[in-house]
Chains A and B, each alone.
Chain A
């Protein structure tokens, strides 16, 4: 490259020697120095590109890929989380419905049990009342029988006392004769 540039400089030196020389001298540019700087710059640029920029860019690309994969993973996780939340909400709702149904059934069963217990209690109470009434009737009957016996006893006692005092001998003799007739017939 350098030889080519030197050749070009030599070939066109004759055509534009005066204009180019004047321009270069006005700006203070030394052509060999410029060419050498261009060469060094190119060498440095190439070295930097190969040993600095490329690894750095590669590293940056890797990081970018990692970041993108991380973001993608986060997105997927977010979607899974939303799905899980939906499923959880559905399960909770189902459980609430089931629980409400159980509560309703339990309430209904308890009410039926309570009604049955009340009926049984009423029946037992009525039976107790009937038995008590029967017992009262029996006691009343017994009391009447006892009163009747007592009254009969008192009547007999009174009659005996009265007859013992009031009967005359003639009446007693007549009664004895009647008793004799009654006994001898037997």
Chain B
């Protein structure tokens, strides 16, 4: 579906309204949705999809997905949160997600950035260097 320029701009405006101190606010998102329900615009589905994409991207920026294999201590998660918060200058929360494919090591995904130090990645680097 072709999203018109006006629809994209409108979705971006709604997204900006959903922010509070640079962070997504649940109450504001709820208010935006109620408003859209009461005053449905032209191309509502396209607007909502674009708005959803923007909100998800913003949420992903403040969330770090820590994939790990084997046991991981909470201190490691806190260390990662501190390091990423300092790096991105915004609060980042880390959640652990087990991934046995990593064999050992971590893969951290923050928004579009991926940091990895795992056995498969090291072996792949070794294989490419050969």
Contact = CB atoms under 8 A, between A and B. Distances in A.
Interface stretch (B15-23, B28-36, B49-57, B119-127): B119-127
A169 interface: yes
Given A179-B106, A179-B118, A183-B108, A173 B124 contact: no
Contacts of B73: 173, 177
B70 A172 contact: yes
A172 B130 CA distance: 26
Nearest to A161: B103
Contacts of B68: 176
Interface in A156-175: 156, 159-160, 163-164, 167, 169, 171-173, 175
B123 A159 contact: yes
Nearest to B118: A179
Interface stretch (A62-70, A113-121, A147-155): A147-155
Given A173-B71, A175-B119, A183 B127 contact: no
A184 interface: yes
B60 interface: no
Contact of B79 (A149, A156, A184): A184
22 contacts: A152-B130, A153-B127, A156-B127, A159-B119, A160-B119, A160-B120, A160-B123, A163-B103, A164-B103, A167-B103, A167-B104, A172-B70, A172-B71, A172-B103, A173-B73, A176-B104, A179-B104, A179-B106, A180-B80, A180-B106, A183-B117, A184-B79
